[in-house]
């Protein structure tokens, strides 16, 4: 029994792999592009960006106008939306890019990193319609190179490249500087379209307790297991097993 208890204790002490608030943003760079007919925009900034342009000259037979919208900011978030409401209306396209330099506040592996959003149906610029990559700038190496592969997606972060060389584990280094780049883009094909990418990488995942809570939980569980191994029983348990005076009379 004691051997089993100590094995359970060892598992608890070694299985606490949490990273709430595990990454810190050092700098951000956002870029948005869009066009509707001859109108276009292209902005870059370290602050969040949002832009929409709408055609005002050529409505569809239902009175709708083409438009393009790009949003990049709020930490790690990019979004695009367009519409070309008919064959005779101006074409439209939009792209949004976020580049985030960050550090890890721990060494080792991390859980619960998710990327989620929607992949556009059409493409208006060169490259993938929804893609993200992470580079280790200190060692000049690829950590992640991935894309959604589906219209609506919610996927765990996969380490490696997107040609089949993926791994479920990666050892983050708190002394290194990393770069996350997310790109989403779309173009019109006589209809509306849109897409987005976001991640929980820089927020606290709900299923994961704070580090202090995890430590307290681990200590409490370890204490209970150690007490059980030493044959200790809480006083209320011993009292419950003793007959009351009334029951003896």
Q: What integer is the mean pLDDT of 139-156?
A: 84
Query: Which of 16-25, 60-69, 188-197 comes out lowest in average pLDDT?
Result: 16-25
User: 160 versus 107: which is more confidently predicted?
Assistant: 107
More confident residue, 163 or 63: 63
Q: Are strands 159-160 and 166-167 parallel, antiparallel or unpaired?
A: antiparallel
Residue 137: pLDDT band with limits 50, 70, 90: very high
Q: Where are the domains of the chain?
A: 22-199
pTM score: 0.73
**Is residue 96 within 8 Å of 53, Cβ to Cβ?**
no
């Amino acid at each position: 029994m004691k051997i089993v208890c100590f094995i359970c204790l060892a598992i608890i002490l070694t299985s606490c792999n949490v990273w709430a608030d595990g990454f810190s943003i050092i700098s951000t760079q956002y870029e948005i592009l869009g066009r509707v007919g001859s109108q276009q925009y292209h902005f870059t900034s370290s602050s969040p960006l949002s832009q929409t342009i709408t055609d005002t000259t050529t409505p569809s037979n239902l009175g709708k106008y083409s438009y393009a919208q790009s949003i990049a900011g709020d930490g790690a978030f990019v979004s695009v939306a367009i519409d070309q409401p008919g064959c005779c209306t101006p074409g439209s396209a939009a792209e949004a890019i976020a580049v985030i330099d960050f550090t890890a506040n721990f060494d080792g592996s991390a859980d619960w990193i998710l990327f989620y959003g929607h992949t556009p149906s059409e493409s208006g610029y060169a490259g993938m319609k929804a893609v993200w990559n992470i580079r280790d700038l200190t060692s000049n190496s690829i950590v992640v190179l991935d894309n959604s592969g589906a219209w609506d997606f919610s996927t765990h972060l996969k380490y490696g490249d997107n040609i089949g060389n993926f791994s479920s584990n990666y050892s983050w280094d708190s002394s290194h500087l990393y770069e996350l780049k997310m790109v989403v883009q779309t173009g019109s094909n006589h209809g509306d379209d849109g897409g987005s990418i976001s991640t929980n990488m820089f927020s606290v995942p709900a299923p994961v307790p704070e580090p202090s809570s995890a430590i307290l939980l681990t200590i409490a569980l370890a204490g209970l297991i150690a007490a059980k191994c030493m044959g200790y029983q809480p006083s209320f348990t011993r009292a419950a097993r003793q007959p009351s005076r009334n029951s003896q009379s």
